[in-house]
Structure 1
Amino acid sequence: MDTWVLWLLLLQIAVPYPQPVGDGLDEVTRLRTEVRAKLREEETIGLEREVEQLVLKQGAWAWGDLLCSAWQHWQVWALAGLLLLLLALWYWGRKRSLRREEHVGNEEEGDSDLDGEESDMEQYRHRANNFGRIVMERIQWPVQDLQEGCTWTRNLMEHFAIYFRRVLSNSFYPVLQGAIGVGSAFEGWSPREQDVVYQVLIPMTPPRGHSFHLELGTAGQRRLRNFHVRVQQECTCTREQQDKNMLCFLHHPEEELRRCQDPSLLHTLCTGSYLDVEKTARWFYQLVRAIWPALLESHRWHLVLLPSRRSCQLKVTNGRESYRIELLFGVRQGNSDVFVSSQPRQAHTSSTIWPESYAVAEMKFFRYIARRAPPDSLHLKCLQFFTRLQLGLGFSTYTIKTIVMHMLSVLPASQWRRRHFVRRLMDISESLRTCVEMRHLNHFIVGNQRLPQGISLPPEVLMARSRNLFHDLEMDPVAHSQAVSQYVDLHHWLKRILKNEQ
């Protein structure tokens, strides 16, 4: 029911009907009036009840409307919140999906880039391999098979050693031990194309009644570690040392010694009390010439003795092949791999000076590298190529060899394969440039406490300060300027050769 209907009913109740007025009321009228009043009262009560019911119903309807309205508002807000939540979830899901797609895209792009990089790397390796192969094919490597030449030389020296022992068994000349292959050929490389020199070092021990004593030279010679080999006569009079065919050089008269016994080593190969290199070399020549006809090789090979003051150089040929061999001789320092040898360091070396030699230790180092290097390692090819490149430009072969030995002790063997050939050549050039600029190149053996096991150094060599091979550049500015100019020429030739090969 509308509100205005409720207000109309309340108005009717509040305003009573007018009473009829008369002069007197009879009983019927009174009763009728009472009945009407009673009916009116009942109607009023009924109306009041209806009004209450209407009010209650209207209140219920109002609360229902209010609750319905509130419910509707909650639904709206709930729906709005739900929509916002769904929108947020959708946005978060979409963002995550986009991120995943972007991540996947990046991975795919990264994989694509990686594949591209791997492809580029493979192409680089392929080009490097081809370039290294082309350079190697165009280089004129030594014609001789170095391994075959080393084997032939060892066999020849073993045959010589048999007769050395026979001829010298009862003499007072140095006792010759088994030859040791040294130098570039026995290290596995050669700076020369064809005329390869096979060097062997023959250790010497003192004969009966003699002893060797190594004496380090003067201050200037100490820096270079040059020695004198002092020969001293020993007493042989005791029963343990006495030989019925030998007289004691110290306690027998000189006349009896000259009449009954060969001269002492001091009277044959020494100058004063020191072993003479040049006299020893001449004695070697005579020994080789005397023994050669007894060897089987003399039937098929022709021997030519080449001139040399401090070694014995010979060449053997058979019409098709030829081998050039240099026999060096030296005295071992204790039980180490370091000798004093007849090989000179300078052009004019006194005949009684025996420079310290590390040739055996260096040969053992290259053998150590060869045992651990892969079959396609080119460390020897790099050394051979670079030493040949710099011939005539002023740097010694030993300088380049020292640089490469330092590099071999730092770079793993896997970094010397064919694809690294050009890179290693440039590294050698860069190392040489640095050494020339700094005027300093450490000797590889002296003072090196990180040599592989199996290479034995005497304590004074192991603990010594490393010797600077560029000491002359440090002392002479003119020599340094010349070395810089020589390096520039060398680097120019290297770049030109590599550019032409590309």
Structure 2
Amino acid sequence: MALGLFRVCLVVVTAIINHPLLFPRENATIPENEEEILRKMQAHQERLQLERLRLEEEVAQLAAEEVAMEQAAAEGPPPSETHTAWDLWSTLCMILFLMIEVWRQDHQDGLPAECPAGDEDELPGLGATPLLGLTLPDKATLGHFYERCIRGATADAARTREFVEGFVDDLLEALRSLCNRDTDMEVEDFMGVGSMYENWQVDRPLVCNLFVPFTPPEPYRFHPELWCSGRSVPLGGQGYGQIKVVRADDAALGCVCDKTKLGEDMLCLLHSQNGRRRPGGEMEELLCASGSPYLDTVQVMKWFQTALTRAWHRIAHKYEFDLAFGQLDTPGSLKIKFRSGKCMPFNLIPVIQCEDSDLYFVSHLPRGPSQVSPASSTDWLLSFAVYERHFLRMKSKTLPEGACHLSCLQIASFLLSKQNRLTGPSGLSTYHLKTALLHLLLARPGPDWRAEQLDVRLRELLRSLEKSLLEKRLCHFFIGNRKVPEATGLPQAIRRAEPLNLFQPFVLQRSLYRQTVDSFYEMLKNIPALVSEYSLHIPSDHASPLPKAVIL
């Protein structure tokens, strides 16, 4: 009797494991529509009903056998050793049946219905996540789309850079001529960073991002304090730092204006003198936070904007266009306004070099919905833009001629830009696309980036991004990445730091995450239509010529 009860218990446990409400299987993919969900649920219900009928028959058969064995035991001698051996084998079969049922439920529907085409040597972990609804055009169509729409749209990038750089050179030279070398900040030569200088920007209008390093007057210097220097930082403080104003000889803090007699018309940019005013009567703004030796990003931007305005007024008579500040959320955003009505935007951003490295502290950058705002105005964002540019150049030397890595990034950036115009901005940015590409460049050997592999690499880039979205984790390429080549010159403190998850905001902001995932899958579904439309008809904003400025 006990053996029969044990068999019945095994059958009941098997039925419980098969129940979808008690042991649901997590699905990493997102269904396309409600009809698909209903169809799968109905099919699963039918399988459960058949399984239930089979189990009921087996239970009835086991019960009949148990009754027959009890009757035989009551009428005749105890069962022989043959019956005992048969019961043991029956129990083992039931255990084996239970194990098979568990394995079947784990693996029966685990494989995707349609596996995307890709390389046989896909990166580990990427092939397990299907790109639901993704239908990429063939190589010929994709190549035609790139040549006709993207390459043609960026043909005047070099001319745009040359024009903006020439004007900024003149503007900064005028700014230096207005500064006092003993009391004013020293502005250094600018440097170009970002997509325009990495040759992958596709969105219009073409925008140059220029870093303008500045240093304090002697005997002062800037002392950067990184978040990974051992001090405790709040959640979201990774990637930021503070900049302390110290004397070059590490003496006690103080301002040179307290120890040097300044003329009546001279003002210190770090601290204002009580009662001292410009000839115009305006009090000089502080660059440090109130009662703190740390630089304040807001005060620095106010100083920089004031200095640029004065410099522009000095040279405005030489040009037949106007200069104005652009986007409100980017204080360093400027735009040249031609008399024809055309505008040419660019970003001039004051930065501070982090010791002797190519790291730079940035006061302000355009912020997307997924970016965490700094906790304080004394927190400066650490930019790796120069290292990213160096890494792409270094990697390009090891890739085949005409490699498709930048083409993949351009196409993905183009698709994301068009999707944002259709459904509005999401938590996904071009910097996330660039980060995913940098990880793939580090993992993939050079021959895999041949020009004819464009469609395969693009699919892999999107698959990698999808996997990161579903896991809510996309690691910063440089912070905590010990696989970055030593030749890049990345500081060891950054290499040994804890990895920074760029998708951390998605963990807390569920609505933003849901919107981002929906927008991403909508973009995948729209790829064939977008490629077909833009291959045949190039919009006017991708074919407008660059206006020429006349220098008097």
- TM-score normalised by L of structure 2: 0.58
Equivalent-residue separation in structure 1 for 2:237 and 2:378 (angstroms): 17
User: Is the 8 Å Cα contact of residues 310 and 342 (structure 1) preserved in structure 2?
Assistant: no
Aligned match of 1:198: 208
1:387 is the counterpart of 2:413: yes
Deviation at 1:168, TM superposition (A): 2.3
One-letter identity of the residue aligned with 1:149: T
Give 3-state SS (helix, strand or coil) of 1:287's partner. helix
1:207 is the counterpart of 2:221: no
Aligned match of 2:267: 262
One-letter identity of the residue aligned with 2:302: R
Q: Structure 1: which 5+ runs fail to align? A: 1-126, 238-246
One-letter identity of the residue aligned with 2:360: F
Equivalent-residue separation in structure 2 for 1:235 and 1:443 (angstroms): 36
Aligned match of 2:471: 438
Deviations 1:78-135 (A, max 9, x none): xxxxxxxxxxxxxxxxxxxxxxxxxxxxxxxxxxxxxxxxxxxxxxxxx965233322
User: Is the 8 Å Cα contact of residues 403 and 451 (structure 2) preserved in structure 1?
Assistant: yes
1:299 is the counterpart of 2:309: no
Deviation at 1:487, TM superposition (A): 3.0
1:68-147 correspondence runs (5 A):
129-137=139-147, 139=149, 142=153, 145-147=156-158
Deviation at 1:185, TM superposition (A): 0.9
Deviation at 1:463, TM superposition (A): 1.2
User: Is the 8 Å Cα contact of residues 142 and 531 (structure 2) preserved in structure 1?
Assistant: no
Aligned match of 1:227: 241
Aligned match of 1:69: none
User: Is the 8 Å Cα contact of residues 129 and 418 (structure 1) preserved in structure 2?
Assistant: no
Equivalent-residue separation in structure 1 for 2:382 and 2:457 (angstroms): 31
Deviation at 1:338, TM superposition (A): 1.0
Deviations 1:428-481 (A, max 9, x none): 111111112222111111122343465332332121122111223344555544
Q: Percent identity?
A: 23
Deviation at 1:489, TM superposition (A): 1.8
Deviation at 1:271, TM superposition (A): 1.9
User: Is the 8 Å Cα contact of residues 292 and 298 (structure 1) preserved in structure 2?
Assistant: no
User: Is the 8 Å Cα contact of residues 336 and 458 (structure 1) preserved in structure 2?
Assistant: yes
Aligned match of 1:282: 302
Query: Taking structure 1 as reference, are residues 257 and 298 closer, same or farther at Cα in structure 2, changes over 3 Å only?
Result: closer
Equivalent-residue separation in structure 2 for 1:266 and 1:214 (angstroms): 19
Equivalent-residue separation in structure 1 for 2:316 and 2:398 (angstroms): 37
Deviations 1:287-332 (A, max 9, x none): 2222235559943443233254653222225567753210111111
- TM-score normalised by L of structure 1: 0.63
Equivalent-residue separation in structure 1 for 2:300 and 2:442 (angstroms): 37
Question: More displaced, 367-376 or 382-391?
Answer: 367-376
- Cα RMSD between the aligned structures? 3.4
Aligned match of 1:154: 165
Equivalent-residue separation in structure 1 for 2:397 and 2:158 (angstroms): 15
Give 3-state SS (helix, strand or coil) of 1:139's partner. helix
Equivalent-residue separation in structure 2 for 1:407 and 1:494 (angstroms): 21
One-letter identity of the residue aligned with 1:209: P
Equivalent-residue separation in structure 2 for 1:343 and 1:477 (angstroms): 26
One-letter identity of the residue aligned with 1:376: G
Aligned match of 1:415: 448
Query: Taking structure 1 as reference, are residues 301 and 144 closer, same or farther at Cα in structure 2, changes over 3 Å only?
Result: farther
One-letter identity of the residue aligned with 1:154: E
Q: Structure 2: which 5+ runs fail to align? A: 1-136, 273-285, 537-552
One-letter identity of the residue aligned with 1:226: Y
Question: More displaced, 258-267 or 204-213?
Answer: 258-267
Give the structure with the higher percent helix: 1
Query: Taking structure 1 as reference, are residues 316 and 479 closer, same or farther at Cα in structure 2, changes over 3 Å only?
Result: closer
- Radius of gyration: which is bigger? 1
Equivalent-residue separation in structure 1 for 2:179 and 2:199 (angstroms): 33
Match of 1:271 among 289, 295, 303: 289
Equivalent-residue separation in structure 2 for 1:313 and 1:342 (angstroms): 12
1:398 is the counterpart of 2:431: yes
Equivalent-residue separation in structure 2 for 1:297 and 1:459 (angstroms): 49
Match of 1:167 among 169, 175, 178: 178
One-letter identity of the residue aligned with 1:436: L
Equivalent-residue separation in structure 2 for 1:207 and 1:464 (angstroms): 32
